[in-house]
Amino acid sequence: MPRRGEHHHDFPTIEDSLDPARIGVRLVRGPQPPRRAGDGAVRSGQVRIQGLAAELADEWVDYATITMLSAHHARSYCQAIREFCRTVDESLGDAAGAASLARSQPDLAFELAEWERRLHSGHRPGSMIPAVAGLAVRALIGYRAQHKHRPVDPQMRQLIAGEMGVGVGRRPGAG
């Protein structure tokens, strides 16, 4: 048993050689206050864009584990992945099956920029949710780009290195 103030963390990681088209459920359970559900799940088999959904979901699980995301933040990332994948799935139609962060076609950098541009339209003025969603997807792609065996298209790397196209908004009651 560790002494007071001593903390030992053994974080599991995902192998760098994952098959990007792996289909299935990714689940993250985070630390949470009592009486609150702490699970978030991404089911990559629910969209035509399964490869992209699996890539983002794998990064989410790895990132949430290593950074010890709270349950609230893990759910925010999960929701952002779902929204982005659903939007790209609708936008690409039949080409959705070929979508991958590693490929230049279909152009996911364009799709991400367009998704960010439209994020505010589904939320009340001043909402922070669009910025949180945009930052979450960008963080996961950036995290993936740091791994040498998890390729990310150069155009996507360039996009996420720049400024995000979503304003941050304000917390309720903030002046």
In this model, does residue 172 exceed pLDDT 60?
A: no
Residues β-bridged to residue 41: 27
Is 16 among the domain residues? Answer: no
Token readout for 125 is: 């003025």
Is 13 among the domain residues? Answer: no
- For residue 4, what pLDDT is reported? 53
* pLDDT tier for residue 168 given thresholds of 50, 70 and 90: low
Is 11 among the domain residues? Answer: no
Weakest-pLDDT range from 3-7, 11-15, 63-67, 154-158: 11-15
Is 14 among the domain residues? Answer: no
Share of the chain above pLDDT 90, in %: 40
Is 153 among the domain residues? Answer: yes
Q: What is the helix, strand, coil percentage profile of the chain, to 5?
A: 50, 5, 45
Token readout for 171 is: 């917390």
In this model, does residue 65 exceed pLDDT 70?
A: yes
The parent domain of residue 135 ranges over: 25-161
Average pLDDT rounded to a whole number, residues 132-139? 94
Is 138 among the domain residues? Answer: yes
Token readout for 157 is: 């790397």
Q: Write the pLDDT tens digit of every residue in 91-108.
A: 999 898 899 999 999 999
In this model, does residue 145 exceed pLDDT 70?
A: yes
- For residue 115, what pLDDT is reported? 95
- Residues 43 and 62: their CA atoms lie apart, in Å, by 16
Q: What is the DSSP letter of 2?
A: P
- For residue 8, what pLDDT is reported? 42
Is 51 among the domain residues? Answer: yes
Number of domains in the chain: 1
3-27 burial code (b ≥16 CB/10 A, e <16): eeeeeeeeeeebeeebebeeeeebe
* Extended strands (E) in the chain: 25-29, 39-43
* pLDDT tier for residue 154 given thresholds of 50, 70 and 90: very high
42 compared with 61, residue with greater pLDDT: 61
- For residue 69, what pLDDT is reported? 84
Is 88 among the domain residues? Answer: yes
